[in-house]
Amino acid sequence: MLRLKFNQEGLIPVIAQDYRTGEIRMFAWANEEAIEKTLQTGYAHYYSRSRKSVWKKGETSGELQKVIEVRVDCDEDAVLYIIEQEKNRACHTGERNCFFRDPEGREAKRVLPFEALQRLQEIIRQRLEEMPEDSYTVRLYKEGEDRVLQKFGEEAIETLIALKRGIPEEIRAEVSDMFYHLILMLTIRGIGIEEVLQELASRMK
Amino acid sequence: MLRLKFNQEGLIPVIAQDYRTGEIRMFAWANEEAIEKTLQTGYAHYYSRSRKSVWKKGETSGELQKVIEVRVDCDEDAVLYIIEQEKNRACHTGERNCFFRDPEGREAKRVLPFEALQRLQEIIRQRLEEMPEDSYTVRLYKEGEDRVLQKFGEEAIETLIALKRGIPEEIRAEVSDMFYHLILMLTIRGIGIEEVLQELASRMK
């Protein structure tokens, strides 16, 4: 075990990053006991400086964090938990993560590139659950899976043509259209986009 | 401006996350001056506790961090810089980021789902630069762009068939193959996958 450098209060900073989306769910502190409990149980534990005790994230809220991997920084004075967030509201405010404002206090919820496919799938899942009638996703879904496949095929061919023509705006737009229809079809098949990305990642070992 | 909560030493923890890959490049501290300089200049500044002074990341190494966005956590006692990392070795050890070990001290470099497409493109770019003869990417590239487009088209059709058949392993494999050929072609066209993902993200506003 690396010798983690705890500060004078016996604490070390912990970043909790979502395995699926890459978003920083929260930032907190851990003492040695919290780190040990995390490693032993596979669920994120922290130390509360106000309550002066170790706590298991989600014990009351249900927002448990299953720990996929723990990483330590070069100086051994910061820790990264790579987690799967149960439910989807990691912040005590009810937000999906704690970093939802800019320094002016305004909402900072722009979707970042690395989370775009995953967040799109969340939206698609929500549409298919709530079935709002004015949604393109819902209308297409109701036309049946062969119609979704046909649209995916069309967008793949349009992507191919755009790639051949070589105009960047066109390429970005057509690939985006293809991604949308691909993710809709993956969702219908019950496959998370992160499962595909994990397969791709595993080939890069 | 939110009232950031600096600690007794006048410092606040800062997480630097890569805009493109989502990886945590580093964890460091800032004082009020460092935060102000970051906001004013658009480049990441931190406070060095050992040198007792504000520093601009990359000033000597060239590993500058262009700040795309600054976010503050719910308690106003932690800051997130969303950055574009110039060059690609953010850690002073020469690693691409500071979190490259597990608690046992072993290398922890598994590619995570959210960074898979971007890391794949980095590998493809490297192959096309170094042109190793035993590389599939290099051989395909040498057969010309129409051949790459043809392979992308084949893999898109195989993806469509796999989606129709509905076998998860097959779907994951075929989508991965399609992604690889798509990214090779995007690379040939000089387009970063993050530009496509950004386009997709912008539709989710």
Same domain, B102 and B128: no
Same domain, A90 and A140: no
Q: Do B74 and A93 touch (CB under 8 A)?
A: yes
Same domain, B89 and B184: no
Domain that holds residue A118: 113-202
- Reference A85, options A25, A13, A14; nearest CA is A25
Mean pLDDT score of chain B, rounded to an integer? 97
Report pLDDT for A198: 97
Compare CB distances from B185 to A2, A163, A189 and report the shortest one's residue: A163
Compare CB distances from B93 to A71, A74, A194 and report the shortest one's residue: A74
Same domain, A163 and A124: yes
Please provide the DSSP assignment of A83-134 as one string: EEESSS--STTSSSSS--B-TTS-B--PPPGGGHHHHHHHHHHHHHHH--TT
Q: Do B98 and A74 touch (CB under 8 A)?
A: yes
Same domain, B99 and B138: no
Q: What does chain A come to in residues?
A: 205
Same domain, B82 and B27: yes
Number of domains in chain A: 2
Domain end (from B81, B110, B139): B110
* Chain A interface includes B11 (CB < 8 A): no
Same domain, A117 and A198: yes
CATH of the domain at A84: 3.10.20.810
Same domain, A99 and A117: no
CATH of the domain at A158: 1.10.287.1080
Scanning B143-162 for CB atoms below 8 A from A yields 145-146, 149, 152-153, 156-157, 159-160
Please provide the DSSP assignment of chain B as one string: -------TTS-EEEEEEETTT--EEEEEEE-HHHHHHHHHHSB-EEEETTTTEEEETTTTTS--EEEEEEEE-TTSS-EEEEEEESSS--STTSSSSS--B-TTS-B--PPPGGGHHHHHHHHHHHHHHH--TT-HHHHHHHT-HHHHHHHHHHHHHHHHHHHHHT-HHHHHHHHHHHHHHHHHHHHHTT--HHHHHHHHHHTT-
Same domain, A90 and A124: no
What does the alpha-carbon distance between residue A53 and residue A123 come to, in Å, rounded to a whole number? 37
Same domain, A197 and A129: yes
Same domain, A23 and A36: yes
* Chain A interface includes B81 (CB < 8 A): no
Q: Do B191 and A179 touch (CB under 8 A)?
A: no
> pLDDT (tens digit, 0 to 9) for every residue of chain A, 205 residues total?
778 999 999 999 999 999 999 999 999 999 999 999 999 999 999 999 999 999 999 999 999 999 999 999 999 999 999 999 999 999 999 999 999 999 999 999 899 999 999 999 999 999 999 999 999 999 999 999 999 999 999 999 999 999 999 999 999 999 999 999 999 999 999 999 999 999 999 999 6
> What is the signed CA dihedral for B14, B16, B19, B23, rounded to 10 degrees?
-130
Chain segment B46-89, per-residue pLDDT in tens:
999 999 999 999 999 999 999 999 999 999 999 999 999 999 99
Our CA-based measurement puts residue A69 at a distance from the nearest CA of chain B, in whole angstroms, of 8
The one-character DSSP state at A200 is H
- Of all residues in chain B, the one with the smallest CA distance to A161 is B149
Domain end (from B55, B86, B110): B110
Domain end (from A58, A76, A110): A110
Model pTM? 0.97
Same domain, B92 and B183: no
